[in-house]
Every structure is written in structure tokens, then in C-alpha cells.
Structure 1
């Protein structure tokens, strides 16, 4: 691999790193934020849900923007939106928290869609390992934010400092990526490419629902694991540490699962097994003795990290070419993250209604069972079958 490809690969990993701190940084400070802003548990649920909902709403625009302006330039926009949104969240009032979360969430949506297609386009001979590396980087960003946000906030004397800090890496990577994005030509400029539709294809729907259900579990973890652990009696720093450790374990499974799963024609068993592990360990965090919480947090991380990695791998393996990969990624994340948005929102609503997290066990179990079923179907060794439609002038 030459130096240019190494630089491109490193930049993609750094971009991926910036796609998750938005979620875990708010999670570990959620009690402080709700108290300072005077918002209810239900409103806190909306705050954790809004950026996830934006992932679904804005995902469909990524492939079209990439066709018109080039994936590299859209990824630059992604970084700028994440940085600006992260700064806005630290502003004064609920409105800036929500608007900043939405802006950063919209950027993350497009980054989520484009990274798999860029990997398939520029690293066709290293798809599995690059998929593992960028999913590992995603988890690493989430883990670092979970571990460091509370100490940063305490050192800075305010939760606002903790949230605003995560604008810095986004802007730093944007500066690094800027020259490459400006040099990159627009692929396909001057010629109308036929549109691709996947909404008729049953396998595409299974892939999309699998992405959504595993994401629902993931965002319940990123948004509510720390509050759940604090409800179990842990202090804020320890709860943040356990959450960080759980997410950090995902780094290893994200790296190992894609190359291993790609060796097999079918990924059905991987998908169903990892969904079971992730959901079962999350249920254990609600009810198991406190002495088992560290082990269960690690097991949840193993299952959740592998589950996310296999979902991203399946998008690439079920796609015959990079353009289809971009469309399947867009469809999966449009449907998937809208579906996923209901997970953390329902956790907040159930907790607000009952004053306890115990009732969320039914939600976590239902999501886990549905993820197992959809993952089994999505893992079958088939390609999705897109339909071409006339390109717009």
C-alpha cells in the first residue's frame, strides 16, 4: 500500500473517530445537564434521541451529494457540521442543545453513509480489514468521550466545557482533510448517472432493519448505560469508566469480526449470535448483582462492537459495487436510525413514567430478539438487486 493510500486510510479512520463522541459525551453528563437546564426525564430522552433521528433523516442525502460534489468534499462538510454542532450544544439553553445536536447528527448521518462506499471504492482488496479499522475507530471515539468527558468537565468547572471539547478533534481533522478534499475531482461530473432504487428489494429491507435494531441497542447503551449504572448505585466517574470500558472492548471486536465473518459465505450465525450476546448482557446490567457489573459491561461491549461491525460488513458484502454500497448504506441508515431513535427515547419515557429502569428490560429483550431474526436474514450470501431510474438533469 503506497503512501497516498496510507494517508487516505488514516484520514478515514480519523473521520470515523469523530462520528460518535456526540452521543457518549452527553450520556455521561446527562444528570448534570438535566439539572442545570431544568428538563424532565422525557425531555432528556428527546435530547438523546434527536441526533439519532437526524442520522436517519439526513442519510438519504449523502449519496446524491457525493455524486454531485464528490465524497471527499461531503466528508469535509461532515467534519465542519460536527464541530459546529458540538460547540452549539455547550450554549445557554435547551434550544442550543437541541439545534447543535441536530446539526452534528446531520453531519454524522452523511459520514456514516459515505465511509463504507469510500472503503469499497478505494480499498477493494482490503474491504474487511478497513471495515474493521474504521468501526474500531468509531468505537474508540465513543469510548474516549465516555471516559474523558466527565473529568474534563470537572477540570473545566462546567458540563459545557465537557461537551464543547469534542469540537476540537472534528475541526483538527477538517484542516488535515481540507487539501485532499479540494484536490479531489467530482466523480462522474458532466455525465448523468442513472439513479438506483432498492426499496423494492426484500434483502435490502432485512439489512436496513438489522442496522436499525442493532443501532437501537447501541444508542440505548451510549445514551443510557451510564445513567443505568448510576441508578444501580455507582458514582458518576465509575459509571463513566464502566461505560468507556464497555465501548473500548468494542474496539477489539470491531477489528476482529469483519475479517473473520468475511471468510464465510453466510454471516447469519455471526449476526444472530452477537445480537443475543449484546441484548443478554444489557439485561444483566439491570438485574445482576453489582459485583457482576464489570464483567457484564465487558460482555455487552464484545457483543455490541461485533454487532455493529457485522452490520457494516454486511452492507458492503451484500453490495455488488461502490454505488450500490452507498445506496444500501443510505437506505439502511435512513430506515435504521429512524427505527433506532425510538430506543433511547423509549428508555427516557419509561424511566420518566416509572422512576425505574427495570421496565426497560422488556424493550431491550424485544429489540434483541428482532435483531437476531433480521440479522439471520441479512447475513445470507446474496446481493441486493437495485433498479435503475432515469437520472435528473
Structure 2
């Protein structure tokens, strides 16, 4: 069932709300890595502890994703998003308080909030924009990338301005409060769309649903390896923390290009999404290997390739949730499954990098791990990208 027509002004507010909320779903994840060395020196964290810090929010994305449908059923999706934005603000802000305990507790709260909101928004897109899903998912993913780039590039300057990493991390919590203000109009006057009658889709028995879930998790693992560890890798190769954070910001900023164009390319290039999916994975793999092993003077080229690949592979993953679903209810449930199970799987990536580095003392194992996960993501995408629908 399509949603009732709404006035253009209300549509504009909804689009603005989706964009501003999406802008807040990555700063808590990308603001830590640029100042990770300062955090370790200040709190005495080992590389294993640092790996856990980068892994914990991603793990919470998966563990708390199943809570999203329950909140939506009780309060509706719009009110659930509004309330959880305050949890995100609290978690992001508390990372700069109460020492190590506050750092990890804030990471947990922020990860949980992002996991819930990230599940709810694709279902809203499927419900409210059924004929413009690829455009809206491209816009949504572009906003995610912009928020990630801003946090990656501005956290070190904020640390230098404040004289400490703590207020630099806490400052990002204020933007979640701004998002709640922009989202406020969605709490009144909207019409809840009842799900179509019939037996719910048994997603856990669907090979296609599992393929979408595995692709989501594996490509997310690649992304969070980069979010958590690219700046420390570049610093160990000889760059300053400011330069490393700037290059990571450049990589994430470049994602805007394929985050927006990737879904449209994927729906127009052939009968399915596999060619676009394989192209993006290949670009990301070449980019990361260049960051690890190519001459340092050319690293800007490799971070650009890395960003182009990762922006596209994530936007296609989000698009697959919508395209493989026959209706808004299925989209909401597939969003919960793919992000719940997928992000739990994705959390193993940055943790494995921390353990590999602790064990070997070098970053050489990261290249092999990235290539292995890329191959597995391509295999899952070969099934998920086929033009089929879960019915």
C-alpha cells in the first residue's frame, strides 16, 4: 500500500530530516581513529584495547538492531527515531567524560543508537518513497558519508583548538540534538501505514535474505577496518596525525560521489546489481593495498580509490535491502536482519586488525585480511545482486 499524498512542504521536511539524521550516524564511528594515539597515550590503552574501542560501536550496531522493529511497533518509526537521537547525543558526548569507563560506555550507547536508527530509516524510505527508492537511498548514503568525512577531518583540529581529545569527541553529540530538532515535524500529522495482511516473510529461511545479510556484513567489515585503523596505519608509515586524519576525511568525502551515483548505476547497468557491486569492491581493495604498500607520496591517489569503492559498495548494500523486498514490511524486517546479523559480523574485522597488529607488530596482515573479506563479500554479492524479490 502506498502512503497517502502529502503536501510538498511536508515532503521537503521529511527529506531534510532524513538527511540530517543520516549525517549523525557516522561521526561517533569515525571521530575516534584520528585521535586514537592521543587516547592511548592519555589512558594507557594497549593496541588490543584500542581494537576493542573501534569494534564495540560496530558490535552494538548489530546487537541492538533487532530492537528497532519493537520500538517502531510500540511508538511508530518516526517517534522511535526522535527518541533514540537523544541516546545518540548522550553516548557521543559521554565519551569525553569519566575516563576509560566513559569512553567505552559512550561508545556502547552511540553504537546502540546508530544500530536502531539505521534499521528504521530504510523501511521509512521504502514506505514513503517507493518509486524513488534508488534516489533516496543514494541521498541517504551520501549524507552518511558526509557526516563520516566531517568527523574524520575535523576531530584533530577540534582537539588542537580545545587542547585535549575529550571535548573534541564530546562536541559531536551536539549535532545529534540539532538532528532531533529538524526531525521534530515528523512527530505530528503523519499517517501510519498498516502492513499488508498475510503471513510474514520467514527471512531466516530465505537464501536471498542471507545473501543480502552477508554482503552487508562483509562490506561493512571492510568499511570499519578503514574507519578504525587507516589513520594509525598512515601515522606508522610516517604521516602526522593531522595529515592522516585529513586523508581519511578525503577518502570518506570522495565516497559522496559513488554513494549518490552507485544506486542509480546499479539499477541501470544490466539486469541486476552484480557488475556495480564487483566494481566497487575491486576499487576499495586496490585503494587499501595502495595505502599499505605504495610509495607514501602517492597515498592521496589510493585513498581516493578506496573512498570511491567503499561509498559505492555501501550504497549498493542499502539499495539491495529495498530492491530485494516486495513491500515496506519486508524491507523493515530485512533491514533489521541484514544490519543486525551483518554488523555483528562486521565487528570482527577491526578487532581482528588490532589482534593481528598486536601479534605481529606490523600492518602486513591487514592487506591479506582485507583481500579475504573482499573475496567473501563478492561471493555473497553474486547471489544478493541478482534481480529477484523476497515474496
State the distance in 1 between where 2:132 and 2:371 align: 35
| Residue in structure 2 matching 1:275, options 262, 273, 281 | 281
CA displacement 1:78-102 (0-9 Å, x = unmatched): 2111100011111122111111111
State the distance in 2 between where 1:193 and 1:72 align: 24
2:231 match: 226
The answer (yes or no) to whether the contact 1:113–1:326 under 8 Å persists in 2 is: yes
| Residue in structure 1 matching 2:306, options 300, 303, 321 | 300
State the distance in 2 between where 1:311 and 1:188 align: 26
State the distance in 2 between where 1:240 and 1:345 align: 20
The answer (yes or no) to whether the contact 1:268–1:375 under 8 Å persists in 2 is: yes
The answer (yes or no) to whether the contact 1:24–1:142 under 8 Å persists in 2 is: yes
Distance apart, 1:3 and its partner CA: 1.3
Q: Does 1:60 align with 2:70?
A: no
State the distance in 2 between where 1:377 and 1:277 align: 20
Distance apart, 1:222 and its partner CA: 0.7
1:260 match: 265
Q: How many residues align?
A: 384
TM-score, structure 2 as length reference: 0.95
1:247 match: 252
Q: Does 1:134 align with 2:140?
A: yes
Structure 2: tracts of 5 or more residues without a match: 1-6
Mark the CA change 1:192 to 1:153 in structure 2 (over 3 Å): closer, same or farther: farther
2:212 match: 207
Distance apart, 1:330 and its partner CA: 0.6
2:4 match: none
Distance apart, 1:67 and its partner CA: 2.1
State the distance in 2 between where 1:148 and 1:184 align: 36
Question: C-alpha root-mean-square deviation of aligned residues, in Å?
Answer: 1.6
The answer (yes or no) to whether the contact 1:77–1:107 under 8 Å persists in 2 is: no
119-128 or 291-300, larger mean C-alpha shift: 119-128
Q: Does 1:45 align with 2:54?
A: no
Distance apart, 1:176 and its partner CA: 2.4
State the distance in 1 between where 2:216 and 2:245 align: 26
Q: How does 1:1-393 map to 2 (within 5 A)?
A: 2-184=8-190, 187-188=193-194, 195-263=200-268, 264-385=270-391
State the distance in 2 between where 1:34 and 1:310 align: 35
Partner of 1:383, secondary structure, is coil
2:3 match: none
The answer (yes or no) to whether the contact 2:286–2:305 under 8 Å persists in 1 is: no
CA displacement 1:329-358 (0-9 Å, x = unmatched): 110011110110000111111111222111
CA displacement 1:277-307 (0-9 Å, x = unmatched): 2122112211111122100000000000000
The answer (yes or no) to whether the contact 2:203–2:209 under 8 Å persists in 1 is: yes
State the distance in 1 between where 2:28 and 2:188 align: 26
CA displacement 1:110-165 (0-9 Å, x = unmatched): 11111111111111121111110010000000000011010011101110011011
The answer (yes or no) to whether the contact 2:53–2:104 under 8 Å persists in 1 is: yes
Distance apart, 1:254 and its partner CA: 0.5
State the distance in 2 between where 1:115 and 1:105 align: 16
